[in-house]
Chain A
Amino acid sequence: QKEVEQDPGPLSVPEGAIVSLNCTYSNSAFQYFMWYRQYSRKGPELLMYTYSSGNKEDGRFTAQVDKSSKYISLFIRDSQPSDSATYLCAILNSGNTPLVFGKGTRLSVIA
């Protein structure tokens, strides 16, 4: 079993829809959870950073962590064509260890 599983999509939704992106992980030692957005030929941009179970909201984005189920989600409200990108979940242990990434989900928001 891979450390982080993420459905690669592609996912296509109409403008204004609520988007739900999800990842599961296998190692209960993981402590920090991140979501990145990556546009084509650009570096990943950090959207959300959380370290506890529950919800964290930032504008149209909500990150949700369920440590008991080892399940993390990113919700995008009122999706826009500019949200079309690849979304990567990433999980981190303590110390200076590298991120463990999901494969990324390609999202297209259709106007």
Chain B
Amino acid sequence: GAVVSQHPSWVICKSGTSVKIECRSLDFQATTMFWYRQFPKQSLMLMATSNEGSKATYEQGVEKDKFLINHASLTLSTLTVTSAHPEDSSFYICSARLRGRGAFFGQGTRLTVV
């Protein structure tokens, strides 16, 4: 099946620092990837749509300067949480769609900001 790999699976960082999360489609090309955030016992909340070679499209209420998204190739999208604060602590998940097969998710990244 289609595989989406996300790295790191968990990270702890100090308040004020930046953290980069990578999302790779291992066996297919993805012109579009999606980034989600999930709080405990809640459903996934779409943050932004990442488009290869162009700017990401952010959902209402998501700060684009805080959550930098880069989709430099057909198999890699990155999410950088800049100047992280404790309230940014959450579970971040990426997804990529494979036409005719559905959408596949990465393993998720648990971010803890201390």
Contacts and interface: CB of A to CB of B under 8 A. Distances in A.
B78 interface: no
B15 interface: no
Contacts, number: 49
Give the bracket for the number of chain B residues in contact with chain A: 20 to 34
A44 B44 contact: yes
Interface in B28-44: 31-32, 34, 43-44
Contacts of B75: none
Contact of A43 (B43, B102, B108): B108
Interface residues of A, number: 20
Interface in B1-43: 1, 4, 6, 31-32, 34, 43
Contacts of A104: 43
A45 interface: yes
Given A101-B44, A103-B43, A43 B110 contact: no
B89 interface: no
Interface stretch (B60-68, B80-88, B91-99): B91-99
A96 interface: yes
Interface of B: 1, 4, 6, 31-32, 34, 43-44, 46, 49, 51, 91, 93, 95, 97, 101-108, 110
